Amino acid sequence: MKHQARKRFGQHFLTDQSILDQFIGHLRPRPDDTVVEIGPGLGALTGVLLRALPHLHVVEIDRDLAKRLREGQWAKRLTVHETDVLEFDYAAIEGRFRVVGNLPYNISSPILFALLNHADRVIDQQFMLQKEVIDRMVAEPKTSDYGRLSVMLQAYYHMEHLFDVPPECFDPPPRVMSAIVHMEPKPAADRALIPHAVFARIVSAAFSQRRKMLRNTWDGVVPMALAEEVGIAPTARAEEISSDRYVALAQKLAEQAN
Ligand code: SAM
């Protein structure tokens, strides 16, 4: 029976074989890789992944789709985690793993932020997302796309915008352009130096009013003398500061608190 795409789950199913081939060409899965696919849907990507992998973990919220996967042709080679990925416990996966998926666009940022907590065990991530979100992820300072998402993710990952995917490659077609991003966590030693809570707090505060000068947005949050020590001028605006500089400031603040 044909599955009726559910809007609330962001269901747009990939139908273009050449996009799947390109996705796999970049991912280059190896038989001993542990791979988690978020949102397998009708299995377009799942099937291509299973050509290279003996086994795959899939996380799917839609009861009907999860049932199809549990009962379908790949049943024995899949571990189907029928749950909301935002509640998924990655502890269910052993060892280090790779994460892939054509993500539900309405919750792509929360999925990315949740995965930040698992960067120690993640080998890499390769996702199809709304192109506009990927543009923001990889944006350079002083551009209109540069924001909280750019600063937070650039601190933890090397990221590459691989290629764009037009709406007609899906059924039903989404209203927006899509793209593929590859993300690799930076070395553990570098990530360990980021005081996460402080970093997240100052970045959120900075971008709460991105056009204002930081001496105003950070009033009561960051002493400007400390910001100046890492080369951030009181008159600078949030979008002018590189991710590295926010990290350096978070480190100073954290040191001062100890
Ligand atoms: N991978 C398939 C493809 O490329 O054709 C489907 C991609 S579709 C854009 C997104 C998939 O994520 C759907 O299967 C949808 O049911 C699933 N999904 C949506 N929200 C989810 C959630 N919170 N947790 C897990 N899966 C979710």
Q: Check which CATH number belongs to the domain holding 206 and give it.
A: 1.10.8.100
Amino acid identity of residue 176, one-letter, is V
Nearest CA, atom 17, ligand 1: 39
**Domain contains 2:** no
Does 45 sit in the ligand 1 pocket, CB within 6 Å? yes
Rg (CA), the chain: 20
Structure tokens at 53: 């992998």
Do the beta carbons of residue 52 and residue 100 sit within 8 Å?
no
Instruction: Please report, for the domain that includes residue 118, its CATH number.
Output: 3.40.50.150
| Cα of 10 from ligand 1 centre, angstroms | 7
User: Do 175 and 197 reside in the same domain of the chain?
Assistant: no
Mean pLDDT of 221-237: 96
Q: Which domain holds residue 70?
A: 7-186
| Cα of 147 from ligand 1 centre, angstroms | 26
Ligand 1: which atom is nearest the Cα of residue 62?
16
User: Do 165 and 219 reside in the same domain of the chain?
Assistant: no
Nearest CA, atom 21, ligand 1: 61
Domain limit, last residue, from 132, 165, 186: 186
Share of the chain above pLDDT 70, in %: 100
Cα separation, 133 vs 239, in Å, equals 16
pLDDT band at 88 (very low <50, low <70, confident <90, very high): very high
Say what the pTM is: 0.96
The CA distances from residue 105 to 11, 12, 16, 115, 124, in Å, are 9, 10, 18, 16, 20
**Domain contains 1:** no
pLDDT band at 173 (very low <50, low <70, confident <90, very high): very high
Q: What is the pLDDT of residue 83?
A: 98
**Domain contains 237:** yes
**Domain contains 210:** yes
DSSP letters, 171-221, are ESPPSS-EEEEEEEEPPHHHHTTS-HHHHHHHHHHHHHTTTSBHHHHTTTT
Does 14 sit in the ligand 1 pocket, CB within 6 Å? yes
pLDDT band at 2 (very low <50, low <70, confident <90, very high): confident
User: Do 174 and 252 reside in the same domain of the chain?
Assistant: no
Does 108 sit in the ligand 1 pocket, CB within 6 Å? no
Does 65 sit in the ligand 1 pocket, CB within 6 Å? yes
